Structure 1
């Protein structure tokens, strides 16, 4: 018979796990071992770090919130810089922030478009059927705006066969011209070789036209295309001031090579008529696609209150991709060297809008991927 003491002993013995002689529990086999905190058949918990004893979630592992700029950097307020909003923000030390206005939002969006990536050389032709409408001014200003807002190489070429003034308006240096570059074109093997024939206006490089009318008239399409072949090898954007008229050989070359076409006119009775003739001339000669993709610039120096500029604009918006009006500007009207800091804000906005329209057609495809490689002439 078992006594109460024996029953108590049996209870203690039953409560003790079977193990070694020292009373410790039997060690499970390696296949039976499980990490602490797991149930049989359940997923294993991450092992603690050897040194810290913390799980990966505590150390910023996959279970922790990702440490990115979006999660750890406090968002700065969007600071206005222009107009009364910028003045109010500055005057109160940022205590009062009315936010960025619609005009500043539009400018920021234009700059974003201008900075669109460009994988292949892009050529822009600026032309008109008659002189005196501000074509050279447009070519110069859009070149300055593009160079101001982009980090790649941009060159403006004066291909005017009648002693153009592009270099005079930008750098005042026409001592080295495109004619001299043509004479040594076979030896141009680097950017430094080409830069010997250009002058600099801010970040924009300028290639002047021949100033002797007898020599510049001999600048034909073949020579222009050879020059552009070299420039497209070393520059990302080539802007051509093609001169007035459309029948000259060199101007025909600018139309053939242009990826973007800018037509300059004025919103007057005779100016609108000449722009219409230009578009009709291009359409009849098989360039209807270029007309539809062109950007028309209306220089408003001569526009008066008796001219319905809005109607002129609506008419050409139906024929071209975009129409940009450039207001009268006293600084540009002087004909002197152009300084973007001295033109009126509305004029700067117009040229920024023009640059944004042109950048919309920039091709981001790298050279050699869906594009022809540019080679030097033999």
Structure 2
């Protein structure tokens, strides 16, 4: 029989009788212990190994033994001892986001928090949700976001008729004229902090100062919620109260001057004023012998009381610019209205009024003034556009007051009796004046001889 160089015969183990002695020797030889059985005993020896075993916590659900190696062969390999003493590889790290605790020396620090919650350089997962929350928060639930855009309701002309007959199902929108009128009303309703003084002036008498003062006062008072008062400062028996009230008044500005010490509330001063629509009117003295005594100092005393109870004060000045009350009115004026006419004398007198104001240091008032042209007198031989261009180059705005039969009577003025063009002109005048309600007027230098420094204009 030939030998097989120590290898297992290729035939059956139990059937070959020649291998019986070798088979018996192999079965009786002691088998070496596997590496997995000898390693715990080696780790248990020595105090260092014991301390290491005590430090490693035993967490339920995590195996403390290293992963099993390859299947053991029935014949021991020569390198078995080195395999038994090799340190076990560290367990694989837990997957990100899991709550499992990794066993090992670093586990003394306690349970590990997932990376996405602890890494300060990594953007938080809720960052995108926070941005979406701000975009969809209650701040965007505004009127513009929730309500469908709708045209304004027309109230005039065929557009208003169509809207009324169809009960709102057909809305042709506002006409250009009605849209312009609403825009002017919005300007008239501009916010006013404190009080504002307006002076209507001209060198020429009988040109329409009282008419312009009345139209301006009615337009402002009709569309505003604050208090508006018109003061007749004409020392020559002015007619402002007649044009606005249509009847004589029991008390005048002279009575107010004599009883200034009794004014402590709005109720006290209401005795001396009269109501024309929503406009308060303070009439001038009708006795020529007493009217001349209404001077600069008394004007300042009266306006000082009116400022305590009224937001807008309109002063209808007298003829000329050199009387004492007119000087006090100009010193307190914030907006100046110059009245002229598209005629030779009316236009030249209004232009000379501007020249006089500039010569006396009122350049600021001239540049911000509004010129109102009373067009009740006109001629086809006059180039009206040339008159308008002249004043537009010198002042802030020009408004033409058209001819109106209701104004031509010289009697009681009522807005509902005016033509539409006249009402629009009065509204335009009020809009230009209200544009200055938010202006910061610089103070003029003090003029020697004046009753107060220019800073009193506000």
SS of residue in 2 equivalent to 1:357: helix
Give the Cα separation in 1 of the matches to 2:456 and 2:179.
38
Q: Note if contact 2:192-2:437 (Cα within 8 Å) is conserved in structure 1.
A: yes
Q: Choose from 195, 205, 214 the match for 1:140.
A: 214
Q: CA deviation at 1:75?
A: 3.3
- Shift of the alpha carbon at 1:232? 1.1
**1:266 paired to 2:341:** yes
SS in 2 for 1:318: helix
* Equivalent-residue separation in structure 2 for 1:167 and 1:188 (angstroms): 22
Give TM-score, length-normalised by structure 1.
0.80
Shift of 1:27: 10
CA contact (8 A) 2:332 2:456 kept: no
Report which structure shows greater RCO (CA 8 Å, sep ≥6): 1
How far, CA to CA, are the matches of 1:258 and 1:218 in structure 2? 21
Tell me which residue corresponds to 2:350.
Answer: 275
In structure 1, how many angstroms separate the alpha carbons of the residues matched to 2:337 and 2:439? 21
Counterpart of 1:313? 388
Partner of 1:170: 244
Please name the residue that 1:12 is paired with: none
Matched, 1:187 2:262: yes
Partner of 1:18: 61
Give matches, 1:165-244, under 5 Å: 165-171=239-245, 172-244=247-319
Indicate conservation of the 8 Å contact 2:331/2:456, yes or no.
no
- Secondary structure (helix, strand or coil) at the match of 1:324 reads strand
Match for 1:157 among 228, 231, 238? 231
Q: Is the 8 A contact 1:164 1:243 kept in 2?
A: yes
1:297 aligned onto 2:340: no
Gaps of 5+ in 2: 1-59, 63-98, 102-109, 441-454
For residues 32 and 71 of structure 1, the distance between their equivalents in structure 2, rounded to whole angstroms, comes to: 47
Number of residue equivalences: 338
Which of 191, 194, 209 is 1:117 aligned to?
Answer: 191
Distance 1:312 1:31, change over 3 A: farther
CA distance in 2 between partners of 1:32 and 1:234 (Å)? 74
CA shift, 1:69, in A, is: 2.4
Q: Kindly provide the CA deviation profile for residues 304-342 of structure 1, in whole angstroms up to 9, marking residues without a partner as x.
A: 323221111111111111111000111111122111111
SS of the residue corresponding to residue 148 of structure 2 reads coil
Helix, strand or coil: the match of 1:200? strand
What is the deviation of 1:40?
A: 8.8
TM-superposed CA distance for 1:143, in Å, is 0.5
Structure number with bigger Rg = 2
Matches of 2:302 and 2:280 in 1, distance apart? 15
Secondary structure at 1:206 match in 2: strand
The question of whether the paired residues in 2 share the 8 Å contact of 1:178 and 1:197 is answered with: yes
Residue among 152, 163, 175 paired with 1:89: 163
1:95/1:261 CA distance change after superposition, 3 Å: same
Gaps of 5+ in 1: 1-16, 20-25, 47-54, 366-371
Contact 1:117 1:364 in 2 (8 A): no
Given that residues 178 and 207 in structure 1 are in contact (C-alpha distance below 8 angstroms), is that contact kept between their aligned partners in structure 2?
yes
Q: Is the 8 A contact 1:120 1:363 kept in 2?
A: no
CA–CA distance in structure 2, aligned partners of residues 226 and 244 of structure 1: 21
